[in-house]
Amino acid sequence: MSTQKPTDKKPIKETKPALKNSPKAKAKKPPEKKTRVKRATAVKVTVKNLPKQSTSTAVTVVKPVTVNSQNQARDAEWELVESNRNELVRGWAKRLNDARYKIQTVTQQYKKLMLNYLQEAYAVYREVENCDFADQFYGNVRLHLHMAEIKVQSNTPDASLLIRYVCGNEFSTKSISEYSRVLEGAKHNNIAADDFVDWVKQKTMTKVIEEQRALESDKETYAERLKRARLVILRLLEVREAYPIISQKSTSWAAGQHLTGDGLWFGIGTALRRNDRESFYADIIMTLILPPNVDLEIYIINHLAKSIVSAVERWESKINELEERVWADELWEKVVSAGNEESEKSNTWWANKQQASRFEDEGEFRDYLKNKKKK
């Protein structure tokens, strides 16, 4: 038989596990601790958030590089060359600045004098434009420029003729065009001659030229004005049919030999004064009747229309306002006188050209013309 030895240890009691929902288990369950969950947040780094860096006020002294005496002399020579070069450049700049100042001073004086001369030219231009013989005056200016061998175009504006006459060949075509636009701008704005200089200074010449260019872009062309002038001449011819210079009856067959489809014809003849007591009478003799072609018709009508193209608005208003006989007689005198003046100018020019062959020097020929005008 086995015997157990007595021990001092107490016997272990077997315990049953407590049920989960029993009151005893509830009493022994330790309380649960609630922990707060931390969320990760991003911190924006700015200049303020940056850690301050310590700035040192200590001056760092750098020792110059030591070279031998030969290199020291070479470095000194280089500094002397650079100093002389800088002094030379400063001298050039000073001379240029002095020249620039003098040129600006002369330019200001030139502009002031030029405005005064333009004022006088504008005064003449304004007076000529308001007179009845403006075309004759401009024709004389054009003839003088032609005789002086100063080239001008056939479509050169009247203001440009005056500026070219005053300035001569020394000025470029661009300058002549700009100055003429200033005169035209002053006339367009109805500026008095005494207020011309102040008006140009206040508005500036550049602004006046720009405004005139803008107006010219919207302005009718010379061809359009010539077309209106042709209609005025054709209307004049219609009226003059009631007051013809010569009227002669003929058979339909004979007249048809000299007419075109629209009934126009051109005649060539002579006019002779009678050598008797009735000397105020003359015989008009028609020797040839020409049926015109289109080219000849356009040439002659345009030739007549060019004499009124600059004042076509005035004649259009007279046609609408005055009686037919009144404006027709006035326009007829205008067209005839313009033709006579043109013929006289042409004859004078060819006569002077023939006389020029007698002189060896152009200066002598000009002196001859001056003496001829004085007589």
Q: In angstroms, what CA-CA distances link 356 with 169, 351, 367?
A: 22, 9, 11
- Count of CB atoms situated within 10 Å of the CB of 63: 5
Model confidence band, residue 1 (pLDDT cutoffs 50, 70, 90):
very low
Partner residues linked to 266 by β-bridges: 290
Mean pLDDT computed over 135-162: 86
Q: Phi, psi (5° rounding) for residue 31?
A: -70, 140
Q: Are 339 and 267 contacting, i.e. CB atoms less than 8 angstroms apart?
A: no
- Which pTM does this prediction carry? 0.40
- The pLDDT value recorded for residue 56 is 58
- Here the tokens at position 244 are 């013809």
Query: Which of the two residues, 29 and 362, has the higher pLDDT score?
Result: 362
Does the structure show a pLDDT above 80 at 301? yes
Cα 51 to its chain centre, rounded Å, is 65
pLDDT digits over 275-296, tens only?
A: 766 667 777 787 777 776 777 7
Q: Please, how many CA atoms are within 13 Å of residue 268, restricted to the half-sphere of its CB?
A: 5
pLDDT digits over 221-253, tens only?
A: 777 888 888 898 888 888 888 877 777 777 777
**Long-range CB pairs of 163-169, under 8 A, 24+ apart, other chains included:** 163/121, 165/141, 166/117, 166/121
User: What DSSP line would sit under 94-151, residue for residue?
Assistant: HHHHHHHHHHHHHHHHHHHHHHHHHHHHHHHHHHHHTSTTHHHHHHHHHHHHHHTT--
**Coil, strand or helix: which one is 286?**
strand
Q: Which residue has the tokens 């367009």?
A: 188
pLDDT digits over 2-19, tens only?
A: 444 454 545 544 555 545
Q: In angstroms, what CA-CA distances link 205 with 90, 129, 182, 214, 308?
A: 36, 22, 7, 14, 31
Does the structure show a pLDDT above 60 at 363? yes
Query: Which of the two residues, 46 and 146, has the higher pLDDT score?
Result: 146
What residues does each domain of the chain span?
Answer: 73-218, 222-245+257-374
Residue 229 burial (C-beta neighbours within 10 Å; 0-12, 13-18, 19+) = buried
pLDDT digits over 51-109, tens only?
A: 555 555 666 667 777 878 888 888 888 888 888 889 999 998 998 898 988 888 888 88
Report which of 370, 338, 366, 375 is spatially closest to residue 139, judged by C-alpha positions. 338
